[in-house]
Amino acid sequence: MSSPPKEAVGITVKKSEDFSEWYTQVVLKAGLADYAPVKGFIVLRPYGYAIWESIRDLLDRRFKETGHQNGFLPVLIPESLLSKEEDHFAGFTPEVFWVTKAGDNDIGEKLALRPTSETLAYSIFAKWISSYRDLPLKINFWNSALRAEIKATKPFVRTSEFLWQEGHTVHATAEEAEQEVMTILGIYRQLIEEYLAVPAVGGFKSDKEKFVGANYTTTLEGMMADGKALQMGTSHHLGQNFSKPFEIKYVGKDTKEHFAWQTSWGVSWRLIGALIMVHGDDKGLIIPPKVAPIQVVVVPIHKDKDAALVKGRAAEITQELNQAGIRAHVDDRDEYTSGWKFNEWEMKGVPLRVNIGARDIEKDGVEFVRRDSREKVQHDRAKLVEVANNLLESIQKSLYERAKAMLDGFMSKPTTYEELKATMDGRGGFATAGWCSAQECELKIKEETGADIRVMPFDQAGMPKKCVYCGQPAKKLALFGRAY
């Protein structure tokens, strides 16, 4: 029984030495995705799709619990429809793919491949809404979006087509829309922190960084292991900026006609990219147990004479774990050594491994191996489910605490602009500083350091007295950082 050389399948660079290459190797070698024939596009493999299914199912349940329904939208949007909200669409124009032919024939009006669905959805909503009785309208779409990312592509993080959900709601009042924005941001925070084990900073985007066409944008920003920020999810208050051009109106209880108030919000598969970058190590992926497609992998270790006995016990253990609601898988392949299997499942990031051999059966015990710490723990066979659940809970908690410590380590408080520049040129991370709210200062900082205002935290406590750039009185506490 021979195995492929370890060098051919394992991660060959250290995360701390070549982060970009490490990330690419994890995506490809852990079997999450592969490159498509067209630049900027990727093929999602079953293991990667299974992680997306975990994220999708969690969100879908929460959306339905809060009164949202799923719908479907076509991918093509006529150019004339886009011109109804020119300012909004202008923000996407450089990234749009256009369809101009059907076979060899020109189709006349150009059709855009959906970069986002506001204009399409709202032209339809205007037909559905006429009375206050039709409100609120709360619809979510699970689909893909297409944006021409040709220069700086990165699997899951920046691709020309990506899976996401985009929610669109219509309300009778501004206050209802505001409540919706924060409800959704809370659902996102729960997913990101409690399930993906990634701490996030919540707050507002600056006017420069907000969604085009929104009154304001709320965001959750995460910090990756290389000191770059990643926008994890956004929820936008659109005000009446779309309802007026698209004539989304309703007759209220007062028998008068009113323009509606709207929100939109979304997260994408870049959350998988965040999971990889935050939790992975030099061995490969580490997937938080709550979203892991396989939570426990059972590996039988045997010689030929013990094969039937050990494989039988491994199958029993796997069945018992699955019946207890733990996602377990037995790797009973004969063509690979147990050591090769250990390396493969470590690379795939399965949170917990159970080793079972003839000696373990004699002692009526099992050996657990944690993926996060690689710690080995021996326990009685009778306590299999109890110990597995406790260890999975401990791993989930440990991953969050480790990620929180990393985030805290990337937080700095420069008191001068020189310190801010030095931070960005050094470790990166979030630079917490005062901002006068002038876009001129924001643009200068971006031009000179590459750092954006990633988020203005909801909690503005401890705001410095002066703007870090111009020295004028500060009006906002802002987190600056370079980002993906």
Q: What is the CATH number of the domain that holds 247?
A: 3.30.930.10
Residue 1: pLDDT over 60 = no
HSE at residue 40, side-chain half, CA atoms within 13 A, is 15
330 and 272 housed in the same domain? no
What's the pLDDT band for 91 if we cut at 50, 70, 90? low
Confidence of residue 8 (pLDDT cuts 50, 70, 90): low
Same-domain check for residues 119 and 29: yes
* pLDDT-derived band at 151, boundaries 50, 70, 90: confident
How many other C-beta atoms lie within 10 A of the C-beta of residue 336? 16
Compute the mean pLDDT over every residue in the chain, rounded to the nearest whole number: 95
Q: Look up the pTM and report it.
A: 0.95
pLDDT band at 4 (very low <50, low <70, confident <90, very high): very low
Q: In this structure, what CATH number is given to the domain that contains residue 387?
A: 3.40.50.800
User: Helix 46-65 vs helix 270-279: angle between axes, to the nearest 10 degrees?
Assistant: 110
Average pLDDT over residues 346-361: 96
Q: What is the mean pLDDT of residues 36-51?
A: 96
At 3 the pLDDT is 45
Residue type, 170: V
Q: Report the range of poorest mean pLDDT among 87-96, 276-285, 360-369, 403-412.
A: 87-96
Does residue 134 share a domain with residue 159?
yes
**pLDDT band per the 50, 70, 90 thresholds, residue 303:** confident
Domain boundary residue among 391, 423, 440?
391
The CATH number covering residue 454 comes to: 3.30.110.30
- pLDDT confidence tier of residue 26, bands split at 50, 70 and 90: very high
Q: Please indicate, yes or no, if residue 132 is contained in any of the structural domains.
A: yes
* 196 and 171 co-located in one domain: yes
Question: Does residue 316 form part of some domain?
Answer: yes
Q: In this model, does residue 447 exceed pLDDT 70?
A: yes
Q: Are residues 125 and 201 in the same domain?
A: yes
Range name among 142-151, 185-194, 216-225 with the lowest pLDDT average:
142-151
Co-location of 44 and 87 in the same domain: yes
* Domain membership flag for residue 399: no
List, for residues 218-235, the tens digit of each pLDDT value. 999 999 999 999 999 999
> pLDDT tens digits for 329-342?
999 999 999 999 99
Is residue 112 within 8 Å of residue 74, measured between CB atoms?
Answer: no
Contact by Cβ (8 Å): 40, 148: yes
Please state, for a pLDDT cut of 90, what percent of the chain lies above it.
92
Residues 309 and 163 placed together within one structural domain of the fold? no
Three-state SS letters, the chain? CCCCCHHHHCCCCCCCCCHHHHHHHHHHHCCCEEECCCCCCEEECHHHHHHHHHHHHHHHHHHHHCCCEEECCCCEEEHHHHHHHHHHHHCCHHHCEEEEEECCEEEEEEEEECCCCHHHHHHHHHHHCCEHHHCCEEEEEEEEEECCCCCCCECCCECCEEEEEEEEEEECCHHHHHHHHHHHHHHHHHHHHHHCCCCCEEEECCCCCCCCCCCEEEEEEEECCCCCEEEEEEEEEEECCCCCCCCCEEECCCCCEEECEEEEEEEECHHHHHHHHHHCECCECCCCHHHCCCCEEEEEECCHHHHHHHHHHHHHHHHHHHHCCCCEEECCCCCCCHHHHHHHHHHCCCCEEEEEEHHHHHHCEEEEEECCCCCEEEEEHHHHHHHHHHHHHHHHHHHHHHHHHHHHHCEECCCCHHHHHHHHHCCCCEEEEEECCCHHHHHHHHHHHCCEEEEEECCCCCCCCECCCCCCECCEEEEEECEC
- Span 298-309, average pLDDT: 91
**Is residue 6 pLDDT above 50, yes or no?**
no
One domain for residues 98 and 178? yes
The 3-class secondary structure across 225-248, one letter per residue, is: CCCCEEEEEEEEEEECCCCCCCCC
Which residue in 92, 73, 95 sits closest to 82, CA to CA? 92
Q: Does residue 298 share a domain with residue 275?
A: no
Which domain, by its residues, includes 303? 294-391
Q: Tell me the pLDDT tens digit for each residue of 120-132.
A: 999 999 999 999 9
Q: What pLDDT score does 14 carry?
A: 97
Same domain, 235 and 317: no
The reply to whether 127 falls in a domain is yes
Residue 288 within a domain: no
Domain count, the chain: 3
Question: Of 246, 279, 312, which residue constitutes the final position of a domain?
Answer: 279
- pLDDT over threshold 50, residue 7: no
How large is the average pLDDT for residues 389-413? Answer: 98
pLDDT of 117 > 90? The answer is yes
Among residues 226, 244, 279, the one where a domain terminates is 279
| pLDDT the model gives residue 94 | 80
- Is the residue at 3 inside a domain? no
In the prediction, which pLDDT does 2 show?
43
Confirm whether 39 is domain-assigned: yes
Work out the average pLDDT over 158-186: 98
Q: 206 and 347, same structural domain?
A: no
Average pLDDT over residues 263-273: 98
pLDDT at 92 over 90: no
pLDDT at position 5 over 50: no
Answer yes or no: do 368 and 228 share one domain: no
Judge whether 462 lies within some domain.
yes
